[in-house]
Amino acid sequence: MSLRATARIVADADGGLPVLRSDGPLALRRTRTTDAYTRVTVVGAMSAPLGGDRLAIETEVRDGARLLVDSAAATVALPGRGTEPATYDLRITVGEGAVLRWLPEQLVSARGSDLSMRTTVELASTARLVLREEQILGRHGEETGTLATRLTVRRAGLPLLDQELAYGPGAAGGWDGGAVLAGHRAAGQLLVVDPEFAEKPVEPRPLAENAVLAPLAGPAALVTAVAPDALRLRRILDEALDSLAAW
């Protein structure tokens, strides 16, 4: 039987969490941090998403709030009993003067799974954002499942980024070719939105053999990388994060 679950986070400027609602396999926990951020960790309460599951996390970072969202472990997309794909939606709003660091662990697409993941972010004009996505195509020694992702970001009501990616046997041909993954099994991106980039935009440059930093048409920078494994992918994105967002 497939699951329907929606968890919700609301963060206030005083560090409070007026809403922290877990649901089904999405268990939310307030965890300790040594900096000025309120921290919420997503803890998987059961195996999910399975084929047919409908999961979502809604997050509101109110004006002036500072929120860090991470996860206790990787999310593993698994096949279900039926043929219906799973969906996982992240719906995020960040208010004026607010800061969100969205830094979950990797998403692993296990063999036979079929997952569609969509992340939608609405930013106020003075909001700041760090958002990391990492996709691992197959567990060790196995083929990948089918994975489709879409990241849509709007700032002050205007489009900032709208990007779709698709991998695996259900994707269009060429996804594993030399112009896309070239045999790599770890892919990721890091998006940093900072109003200061309006005055000092980042310079485009390569970061590693298969990674690049590019400015966006707005106060933002996007790092895109592929790597042979999750460890090397994380190292690339961590180094980029340290250089782009010290806040």
Tokens matching residue 210: 């298969």
Of 60 and 179, the structure prediction assigns the larger pLDDT to 60
Question: Which one, of 212, 10, 204, 28, lies nearest residue 95 by Cα?
Answer: 10
Q: Give the pLDDT score at 82.
A: 73
Match 């969100």 to its residue by tokens. Answer: 100
Task: Read off the pLDDT band of 122 (50, 70, 90).
Answer: very high
Q: How far, in Å, are 69, 144, 182, 212, 228 from residue 179 at the CA level?
A: 33, 18, 7, 14, 15
**Count of helix runs (H) and strand runs (E) in the chain:** 1, 18
In DSSP terms, 117 is beta-bridged to 88, 149
Q: Report the predicted TM-score, pTM, of the whole model to 2 decimal places.
A: 0.95
Euclidean distance between CA atoms 48 and 26, whole angstroms: 9
Q: Give the pLDDT score at 234.
A: 97
Q: Give the pLDDT score at 158.
A: 96
Task: Read off the pLDDT band of 46 (50, 70, 90).
Answer: low
Can you tell me the mean pLDDT for 128-152?
95
217 CB burial (10 A radius; 0-12, 13-18, 19+): exposed
